[in-house]
A = this chain, B = another copy of it.
């Protein structure tokens, strides 16, 4: 493969001049520029990014560590990140952590070895030593979706509280009073936050969230199935099951069907995270949609800003309720219900 020296020789100039032309340095004569460009074209020369990286100490590569690529939410996030990164001239190396801190550490280490310019992470519970070291050591880092409390790293995420409130209002208006939730792992921020938001929203309607109406899940379908079965075995089962992520909602759906229940007449179902498939299930599932594409874009923007040395603040985007038929709504409309009148006791 042709190198910069070959180009220099072919154009009858020095390598310095070639480099200047390629990097749009101002002081190059029009004549030299033309000859270099011609030589580049003729030889099909492409600069070696590895050599360039060594010299400039930047790779124009971002590392993205995700907890579960098979989860459509994260898939979409990854896609959006890759897209935006490419638009800004960055490549993305993806690592799947599979909810394992060990694997996450492994990825952080290889990414650091490869001298990526920045790290985008949706951390597993509590994070992992390598990750924390990297962040503290000054590697430009941005958390997306999940974050680690107490670590000084910008976070890009969606705030579901208002959407959860809308959801509860919607459910309440439909006459539901016994609402249950399938929570994610308590150690993840998204896991605990969603439960808190749900409980708070219920409180506004004077509703309780009893212990037995909080199922413990792990963001995987199977755990949603198990939690739902436990709910259904209760002397007084809930009228609504709200799953804290899309996979658990799917598991819940299975469990309900296995019991021969009709949705939404016998029991209602709602989910956090909207995914394309929820339109195609029977019935279509009411869900809280995160602005996933925007999150990915914002995360990359924040990270590149950080890389360029600018100061960056965390970004929080609102999630919104998408009403479908799984809770008993008459229409398919996506309009959020009107604001609840807080503390209107039943």
Contact = CB atoms under 8 A, between A and B. Distances in A.
Given A75-B75, A253-B280, A91 B91 contact: no
A346 interface: no
A237 B253 CA distance: 32
B70 A79 contact: yes
B257 A282 contact: yes
A78 B221 CA distance: 21
Copies in the complex: 2
A309 interface: no
Contact of A276 (B69, B82, B95, B221): B221
Nearest to A59: B50
Interface stretch (A107-115, A197-205, A311-319, A335-343): A107-115
A105 interface: no
A69 to B, nearest CB: 5
A105 to B, nearest CB: 13
Interface in A253-308: 253-254, 257, 276-277, 279-282
A203 to B, nearest CB: 33
Interface string A63-105: 0000001101001101100110010000111111000000000
A48 interface: yes
A47 B109 CA distance: 11
Interface of A: 46-51, 53-54, 59, 61, 69-70, 72, 75-76, 78-79, 82-83, 86, 91-96, 106, 109-115, 221, 250, 253-254, 257, 276-277, 279-282
